[in-house]
Structure 1
Amino acid sequence: MLAALATLVTSAASAGSGSATAAPTPATSIVYGCDGAKLVQPRTLSSIFCADLGIIVTDITWLGWTDPFAVGYGTEHRNLCEPTCAAGRYAVYPVGVYLFAPQRGAFTEVSLYSSVTAPPETYQLTGFPH
């Protein structure tokens, strides 16, 4: 999983390389938190399901953060909703994180890569500006 993410970052970085003389422009894309906060390279991503926090990714290490996408890995906490979502327990496992589809400077979608849930799952981020 990490090898695939590293390959993705390397490919994207080399695609933009060439004989450019100007320094690269810092990435400005953000991800919104559930409270509307503008986040750059957050250690925790909770805006996958703001209504119930059914999936949260913590301890994120970002391998790359650019305007079109960001990629990293962390620990997923997924509510199993057993016996109910309110009383559910969480499954915890390593996961790759891929943020993409920026609109007006904010990532709007996330794909999660893990050996537990294959193929990757993609979600629309539910954080929003206030």
Structure 2
Amino acid sequence: MRGTVVGTAVTLSAGALLTAAMTTATASPPTAATTPPRTAVAQPVLVDCVWQRTVRPIDFLLACGDGNSRLTGLHWEQWSPTKATAVGVNVVNDCKPYCAAGRFHSYPVTVRLDGTKPWKKHPGVQRYTLMTLTYSDSRPDGFKQVMSYPLWD
């Protein structure tokens, strides 16, 4: 029985010493060779109609109420603090004879985002305020060659 008590005492002592050594090692200050992490420059965001923010989205819903106009296949060529540009496709429902029975048509577009301002929901985040679509070929009925839309805040 005396051997069991001694063995238990040695095991407990060794465990305590190991714990103390590990705590000391992890609590030690960083060495001079440690470099601080780089801070990333915040990029402006594109806010959608359900208040989600994105950077360089592949798709973007324009007609939130009925889903009858959206941008797809966006390839961003630029995304800077002042503007962003992409090429993609605007998929639009012709709503003929009415939207539920209409057909979707695809139109190649160039997308430009401008006018960064702080986002009301998150004042520390810059958001784009204006989207301009330029149709390269055909365009939906009633649309101009260049269409501009204010973006959500």
Structure 1 window deviating more from structure 2 (27-36 vs 63-72): it is 27-36
Q: Is the 8 A contact 1:49 1:125 kept in 2?
A: no
Give how far 1:28 is off: 1.4
Provide the C-alpha distance between the structure 2 equivalents of 1:35 and 1:121, rounded to a whole number of angstroms.
22
Provide the C-alpha distance between the structure 2 equivalents of 1:84 and 1:42, rounded to a whole number of angstroms.
30
2:91 aligned with 1:77, yes or no? yes
Q: Secondary structure, in 3 states, of the residue corresponding to 2:101?
A: coil
TM-score of the aligned structures, taking structure 1 as reference length: 0.69
Structure 1 window deviating more from structure 2 (61-70 vs 93-102): it is 93-102
Provide the C-alpha distance between the structure 2 equivalents of 1:97 and 1:61, rounded to a whole number of angstroms.
10
Give the equivalent residue in structure 2 for 1:31: 46
Number of residue equivalences: 102
Identity, % of aligned pairs? Answer: 27
Provide the C-alpha distance between the structure 1 equivalents of 2:54 and 2:71, rounded to a whole number of angstroms.
14
2:127 aligned with 1:106, yes or no? yes
2:104 aligned with 1:90, yes or no? yes
Q: Secondary structure, in 3 states, of the residue corresponding to 2:89?
A: strand
Q: Secondary structure, in 3 states, of the residue corresponding to 2:67?
A: coil
Provide the C-alpha distance between the structure 2 equivalents of 1:35 and 1:42, rounded to a whole number of angstroms.
14
Instruction: Mark the runs of 5 or more structure 1 residues left unpaired by the alignment.
Output: 1-24
2:138 aligned with 1:116, yes or no? yes
For residue 57 of structure 2, what is the amino acid of its counterpart? P
Structure 1 segments, 4+ long, off by >3 Å, are none
Q: Secondary structure, in 3 states, of the residue corresponding to 2:98?
A: coil
Provide the C-alpha distance between the structure 1 equivalents of 2:74 and 2:81, rounded to a whole number of angstroms.
18
Distance 1:42 1:85, change over 3 A: same
Give how far 1:27 is off: 5.4
Structure 1 or 2: larger helix share?
2
Instruction: Mark the runs of 5 or more structure 2 residues left unpaired by the alignment.
Output: 1-39, 119-125
Answer with 1 or 2: which has the greater Rg. 2
TM-score of the aligned structures, taking structure 2 as reference length: 0.60
Bigger RCO (CA 8 Å, 6+ sep):
1
Give how far 1:116 is off: 1.6
2:65 aligned with 1:43, yes or no? no
